[in-house]
Amino acid sequence: MRQCTAVALLPPPDHLITLAAEPGHILCELATDHPGDHATMLWDEGGPTGGAVWARWNTHRARLIPLPWCLALDPRKEACELFADHPSPHSWDITDPTHEAITHDLARQHPHLFPGTPEIAERTEEEDGS
């Protein structure tokens, strides 16, 4: 499943403005067509409780909220990189279209760096008319 491509300009909270924090663009990390608010992780809280501070937004508002990590593990025992009870598939099932586009472009320019990835080579040949 592809990653949601929603983007928002997140102004810093009032208490950070005094530190010269500037607005920044954030990208949703959930899958396309997810229900509810968009979400992106801002920073990992670490510590014994775990979790991170997430920006959650929609067309009407944006909020910064601490959320615990999703506890799901993939077959390789790698943790989901989203928050608990997230509304979309787990992070390992979400493909970032930007990462995919960059990888495809690099493979087209430097195929020797991507041995064993026939799907990239096939798409490159189709685009080049080979």
Contact at 8 Å (CB) between 107 and 116? no
pTM above 0.75, yes or no: no
* Domain segments of the chain as ranges: 7-89, 98-128
pLDDT at site 38: 93
pLDDT at site 34: 93
pLDDT at site 108: 82
pLDDT at site 126: 53
Q: How many CB atoms lie within 10 A of CB 93?
A: 11
* Tokens read off for 35: 């229900």
**10-residue averages of pLDDT along the chain (130 residues):** 73 52 74 93 79 90 90 93 93 86 81 71 51
* Tokens read off for 123: 């798409």
pLDDT at site 113: 82
